[in-house]
Amino acid sequence: MIAITATVQYRGAPSELAAAFEPIRRRAFAAAAVYWQRTYLPLHFKTIAYLRYKGAFKPRSKGYRRRKQQEPGRAALPLVWSGALRDAVLSAARISSTGRRTDLRMRGTRALNLVGRPGMPDMKSEITAINQSEAGKLAKDIDADMERALNAIGG
């Protein structure tokens, strides 16, 4: 799970903006979720992921790496064996906003290891890894979207 926390400070009459705040927040966070899926998620399946998300990827076993190197075009790509997982999570996603939370739900495959078994890679954390620059960009985008929408209403 990726958690981004936002603090909103009102200027002016908060009662006028309070009713409009929640739909604006939902739209801003949904836009950020879509941006993350389309822009940053594909990077998790490229060789640059090992550098961008240092520490997120657990080293694989020697046997796994040997089998993977025997397949052309597959050896250096993280999280890619057949490409089914990559194709599933990069396809359409469902976004839902409730209360104080926005969820981006992606389709997975049976190969996705979401159970934290000892010695096995945590593929869920590898797929959802995010670095500081990405989190900062998403937070700035959310802030700009919300500010633009609230200014249109209140000012």
Output 27 or 57, whichever has higher pLDDT.
Answer: 27
Which residue in 33, 25, 32, 34 sits closest to 147, CA to CA? 25
Predicted pLDDT at 145: 92
Secondary structure class of 145 (helix, strand, coil): helix
Place of tokens 């981006």: 104
Averaged over 62-66, what is the pLDDT? 80
Q: Retrieve residue 28's tokens.
A: 């801003």
Q: How far apart are CA 148 and CA 140, in angstroms?
A: 12
Q: Is 119 left (phi over 0), alpha (psi -120 to 50) or beta?
A: left
> pLDDT tens for residues 5-41?
656 665 655 666 677 788 888 899 899 999 999 999 9
Structure tokens at 101: 């939370």
> What are the residue ranges of helices labelled H in the chain?
14-35, 49-52, 62-69, 84-90, 123-127, 132-154
Please determine, for residue 1, whether its predicted confidence score (pLDDT) is greater than 60.
no
pLDDT for 88 equals 83
pLDDT of res. 61: 77
For 94-123, how does the pLDDT look when each residue is reduced to its tens digit (9 = 90+)? 888 876 778 888 877 665 656 666 777 778
> pTM surpassing 0.85?
no
Percent over 90 (pLDDT), the chain: 14
